[in-house]
Amino acid sequence: MIMPDSPIRKLVPWADKAKDKGVKVYHLNIGQPDLPTPTNALDAIKSIDREILEYTPSEGIKSFREKLAKYYHKFNIDVDVEDIIITSGGSEAVTFAFMSCLDPGDEIIVPEPAYANYEAFAIVAGAIIKSLPAKIEEGFALPPVEEFEKLITPKTKGMMICNPNNPTGYLYTQSEMNKIRDLVKKYDLYLFSDEVYREFCYTGAPYISAFHLDGIEQNVVLVDSVSKRYSECGLRVGAIICKNKALRDNIIKFCQARLSPPLIGQIAAEASLDSGDDYMLNNYNEYVERRKFLIDGLNRIDGVYSPIPMGAFYTVARLPVDDSDKFCEWLLSDFQWGNQTLFLAPASGFYTIDGYGKDEVRIAYVLKKEDLAVCLKILEEALKVYSGRKR
């Protein structure tokens, strides 16, 4: 199977060419926060006093895993140090989870739009994604459970969710999570749950982890990362949390094959856990303000619609264009407003079904409001002159 292009990065050559011409490019395509990394992490890196930068244990540094266990306890996720395996980013966590649980030809059900790289990770494992599209008109809510059951075959081995969701920002409700739990129980499936955005939930409802669902503790494979909550994307430190010992033993074999996760990254990530509640609260409040500013601005532009995301720091917006892939490329190759332009991620790459997302884009509100204001103006002006605009 051919590895798909990343909708997040495939237009980088066009962005680089625009920059070479002196055009300022605003990056709304990628979830790289502009908020500062915790000073604890930066200080930990600066104060490293070692003569050798050695391998770490394949499952990660124990003191880091012990601190992570305490961190999860704050969210009523009952795990201990042995349940936690450190990985080289959340991407490796998903890859190892798939490779440890799935055989070539096995199927996993994924509500879409979904994080684009899930498909790539499934290809690495020889697995097949069976997608179930959610609708923008319904705010990307979970499709009816009956639609899930229609996709289940003897080859179905698991379900993959991201909660809060990337790319939509959707936050699954207790009722929706209970329905997922019931399917996992009924068909004895794995539940792969990507929860890297748990700190960024914008409703009064409590955060629901897959580990909060009774009766499927042995089926849950939770994926985590420090990249987003601590603005540490470059550390490449993630984790797999799993209470199924036999599965953990299998995952460890993959970890041993790649030797160890990054030493420096783990040192910084462990220090980040001491950054305090104020750090996270400040980031949370900033994203709440950016979310309101961006969504209000998008929905004021003629022909543009975005539901209100309830988590993470992304939204999927519908644009009045016939092909968002072409539009996003055109923004970088042929359009400037005040010698500035936008880098957006075409949403077609977040679906595995051909034809879906052709008039949608993912937007990451990872820039300050002053920059978002410029971005909204650029988008508005671009849509006025784009030849592929829907009339």
Q: CA-based Rg of the chain, rounded to a whole angstrom?
A: 21
Each domain of the chain, given as residue ranges in start order, spans 12-36+278-385, 39-272
Using one digit for the tens of pLDDT, what is the confidence trace for 141-150? Answer: 999 989 999 9
Using one digit for the tens of pLDDT, what is the confidence trace for 15-38? Answer: 999 999 999 999 999 999 999 999
- CATH of region 39-272, choose from 3.40.50.300, 3.40.50.2300, 3.30.930.10, 3.40.640.10: 3.40.640.10
Two structure tokens written together for 102: 């799935």
Half-sphere exposure of 208 (CA within 13 A, CB side): 21
Place of tokens 């379900």: 159
Please give the single-letter amino acid code of residue 229: R
Per-residue pLDDT at 257: 98
Supply the DSSP string of 283-321, one letter for each residue. HHHHHHHHHHHHHHHHHHSTT-B-----BTTEEEEE-SB
Using one digit for the tens of pLDDT, what is the confidence trace for 61-88? Answer: 999 999 999 999 999 999 999 999 999 9
Question: Rounded to 10 degrees, what is the CA torsion of 23, 28, 30, 35?
Answer: 100
Say yes or no to pLDDT of 99 above 80: yes
What DSSP character marks residue 354?
Answer: T
Two structure tokens written together for 66: 């012990």
Per-residue pLDDT at 1: 64
Topology adopted by domain 12-36+278-385: Aspartate Aminotransferase, domain 1 (3.90.1150)
Q: In the chain, how long is the greatest CA-to-CA distance?
A: 65
Say yes or no to pLDDT of 39 above 80: yes
Mean predicted lDDT score pLDDT of the chain? 96
Place of tokens 């994604």: 129
Using one digit for the tens of pLDDT, what is the confidence trace for 201-216? Answer: 999 888 999 999 999 9
Stretch 112-117: mean pLDDT: 96
What are residue 321's phi and psi, to 5 degrees?
A: -130, 155
Q: Strand 340-343 and strand 24-27: pairing?
A: parallel
333: part of which helix (H) or strand (E)? helix 324-333
What distance in Å separates the CA atoms of residue 131 and residue 134, rounded to the nearest whole number? Answer: 10
Model pTM score: 0.96
Stretch 363-389: mean pLDDT: 96
What distance in Å separates the CA atoms of residue 378 and residue 371, rounded to the nearest whole number? Answer: 11
Q: Do domains 12-36+278-385 and 39-272 have the same CATH topology?
A: no
